[in-house]
Amino acid sequence: MKKSIFLIYCSFLLYHLKAQDCDVNAIMNVKGKWTTTSDNIVSPDKTFPSSQYSQLRTRLDKIALLFKEAYPEPAGMEAKWYRSIRGSSLVDKGPVPYQFNSLYSGWYCNQNLHKLMLGTETGTWAFVFVNDLHWFLNDQYDQVWVKINGVTAYLLPKIKEQWNGMPVYETSAGGQRSKALLLTTNDRQPYKAVSRLSYMEAVKQKIEADKQEQMDLFKKMPDNTAKDQKEENRQKMAKYFDDKISVINDLSKNYSADELQQPAIIDNVSNFKYFSTLEKGGRMIVAIDPDYFNLKLPRYIPQVIMLFWQWDNSSAALNFKKQVEENFPIDKLKALLDK
């Protein structure tokens, strides 16, 4: 009996010691390393010759060195990076987009095996988008439901804070545990604000077009209701659209000519009734500005750079975030512009 109790005690002690060996300190003591995987080339710009891909790779390799400078010894994580060449230019015959991608897989304590294991998924990533605004102005999350003068418009991300004297944005694609920094030539922007007048005109035109479409469909519907009832339904549908148009007309009367030319800032895309301000949490409507880009430069030259990083809530990931924000040589990244 005493022998059994002794064995149980030893097992408990061994379990306890193993558990102590598998904790946050043990994770953070794991010295990770940087590795590289193969290039990701998916639907690249067909007008850009593959013979010039070496120009893109050279610049992406320089960006990789900047990350290794900021985060030279991954702690509790394994760092992996690769190059991407994908997508078309933001403007016709403009600079080609390409990107640096890095992911950081964390070690964790497997409570069943009582040992450290490397995670197979991660929420900690960092990207550098060159000549691309992917995830900054995102088609899925930020695209405005109407085109402005035939051009796609977006909601500009909210400014989260300042870093090294530059605004840091919280993107719709990344959420609260992410940050984005936009680097541009001579502090110009690759987008331009949409005026209040332009936005209201576009919304009004879209509502009128939707009304006409519904009226045409209504006429084609089978006549399976009483004539009076059908007319009543038609009038209700017409009033629904007319009320929306009336809101736009009434709102436009509240502004002077100069005020109508100010940037359109809204906080409700689906049910627009008024303009907001940045201070109240509104977001500015913008469109890509073709005049920003210098089409005389070789297409592989970086003309706009977006730095994006996101993290999960693990100790290793928070350490990665801290190291990047304290040590990343942002001036060296900005120096790649126009070169």
How confident is residue 201, by pLDDT bands cut at 50, 70 and 90?
A: very high
Residues 287-314, mean pLDDT to the nearest whole number: 97
Residues 312-339, mean pLDDT to the nearest whole number: 97
Contacts of the segment 291-294: beta carbons below 8 A, 24+ positions apart: 292/184, 292/185, 292/188, 292/189, 292/190, 292/191, 293/90, 293/91, 293/94, 293/95, 293/190, 294/185, 294/338
What are the C-alpha distances in Å from 85 to residues 82, 88, 292?
A: 10, 10, 22
| pLDDT(20) > 80 | no
| pLDDT(14) > 60 | no
Q: What pLDDT sits at residue 235?
A: 87
| pLDDT(306) > 80 | yes
DSSP labels, 248-303: HHHHHTTS-HHHHTSBPEES-STT--S---TTTT-EEEEEE-GGGS-TTS-TTS-S
Q: What pLDDT sits at residue 112?
A: 85
pLDDT tens, 54-93?
A: 999 999 999 999 999 999 999 999 999 999 999 999 999 9
pTM for the whole thing? 0.87
| pLDDT(242) > 60 | yes
Residues 165-182, mean pLDDT to the nearest whole number: 93
Q: Give dist(CA 233, CA 214) in Å, integer.
A: 12
| pLDDT(1) > 80 | no
| Residue-range domain boundaries for the chain | 22-192+292-334, 196-262
| pLDDT(2) > 80 | no
Task: Give, rounded to a whole angstrom, the gap between the first and last alpha carbons of the chain.
Answer: 79
Q: What pLDDT sits at residue 224?
A: 65
